[in-house]
Amino acid sequence: MTITKITPGQTLTSTQKVGLDLVAVLGGGRDVVLAIDLTESVGLNDEGRIRLRQIIQDSLKPGDTVYIIPFAQDVVLNEVKAGVNPLGTPISFISNNQENIDKILARIPSPDSKYYGTDIQQAEFTIYQGLAQINQNRLQENQSIKPQSVVWVTDAPLFTEPGITSQIWIETPATSPFRIVDSPESQQRQAWIKDLPIQKRSLSIKTQNNQEYKLTVVDIAPTVQEFCTPAPGNQETCLVTPYLIRKLWLPGLTSILILIGLFLAGLKLYRLRKKWELIVDFEATAKPEDQKCSLPNNKRIAIGEYDSTCVDSIDCPGVEIRGYLERKGEKLYLVPTNLIPIYYNNQEVTSRQLIDKSKFRLNCPDSRKRDYEIIIKLKK
């Protein structure tokens, strides 16, 4: 695949930002840059190393990718491949064990007297554009993008306006294009700072010479650059939305199916917990009023005499129990005792009978063959 050097693109919509956040969460891991100023004025001391150890030991997580980038007049990168590895070869943080932590700490360089003149705007431009390129490469390869962070250890001022003068920062080399406000480098650096979703936090640290430098953490929300271009047929072709569709259609479909399953399970549970109401009509036997019975799941109503194992009983001639109306989940059964005949819709029932109607008739003839009819309406 051909890697194209990235430039700032179009503004993302709020929906696209949410989608990119979801892709990053599902993909896991972060890009973390440790940007270390090598000049003696910083003089990374014991306190600074303790705080870097804290970040590495307590903040890094398995799956993170770590870039250690020293800088002074120039940015010192190793094994850079144009476009592919714009910030050099990273260290994969595989597990939070001491060996892995020491491996990263060992790569953090110490200040050296041969380094002088920190070109801080050059360092910012290189790192921010490099991080944007890394996520853009992932988009082109249909991989998950990541949140990104830069830990700056420097006494130079960050996020200055284009064209840094000696009054703001004296160490910038006289030949640096970043001293010129409208140079392409100054304008591109400023464009990246404005485009990337950046959050900054700083902590001041004093050196042994009572000078001061800062440890600044810059967090960048997971993002890529959008480019929408008109295409033949009154259409346009874009980068971000098709990428989100490719990355999120399966998790989205899975989430929808899970939600549907949870909804159906909740509905099923609600229906199982809901008590059914049975309205018993005694008009055929000149009873003065209807009887209402409540029937929970896995409970039953006796037909005939009272039964302590039942939630209610329906009056019927004789001193025996003719049968039971038994609820099992979403189904209602008539279970005869076969002590005295009982009829369901004019058919004698001698074994467990499924009742599949919301209105049905039971007949309970007495010992003199007189008919005793009950009409029952079921409300679920």
**Segments of the chain assigned E as strands:** 31-37, 64-71, 91-93, 148-154, 198-206, 212-220, 229-231, 235-237, 276-281, 291-295, 300-304, 312-314, 321-328, 331-336, 343-344, 347-348, 353-355, 359-363, 373-379
Lowest mean pLDDT among 7-21, 102-116, 143-157, 165-179: 102-116
- Cα 137 from chain centroid (whole Å): 23
Residue type at 282 in one-letter notation: F
Burial class (CB in 10 A: 0-12, 13-18, 19+), 304: buried
All residues at 6 or more sequence positions from 45 whose CB lies less than 8 Å from its CB, including other chains: 205, 207, 208
Give the pLDDT of residue 85.
81
**CA within 13 Å, CB half, 236:** 9
Give the pLDDT of residue 286.
54
Average pLDDT (292-300) is: 93
Instruction: Locate 285 and state its tokens.
Output: 């036997």
Distance between CA 29 and CA 15 in Å, rounded? 22
Place of tokens 């304008």: 187
pLDDT surpassing 70 at residue 288? no
Instruction: Locate 363 and state its tokens.
Output: 């007949």
The three-class DSSP label of residue 331 is: strand
Q: Read off the DSSP letter of residue 48.
A: H
pLDDT surpassing 60 at residue 82? no
All residues at 6 or more sequence positions from 291 whose CB lies less than 8 Å from its CB, including other chains: 279, 280, 282, 314, 315
Work out the mean pLDDT of the chain and round it to a whole number: 88
More confident residue, 93 or 76: 93
Number of other CB atoms surrounding residue 119 within 10 Å? 25
**C-alpha to C-alpha distances, 210 to 14, 39, 45, 50, 204, nearest whole angstrom:** 46, 16, 11, 18, 12
Number of other CB atoms surrounding residue 342 within 10 Å? 25
The residue among 328, 331, 335 whose CA lies nearest residue 353 is 335
Burial class (CB in 10 A: 0-12, 13-18, 19+), 120: buried
Q: Tens digits of per-residue pLDDT, 43-52? A: 666 777 788 8
Lowest mean pLDDT among 24-33, 69-78, 127-136: 69-78
**Ramachandran angles phi, psi of 316, nearest 5°:** -155, 145
Q: Tens digits of per-residue pLDDT, 223-242? A: 999 999 999 998 899 999 99
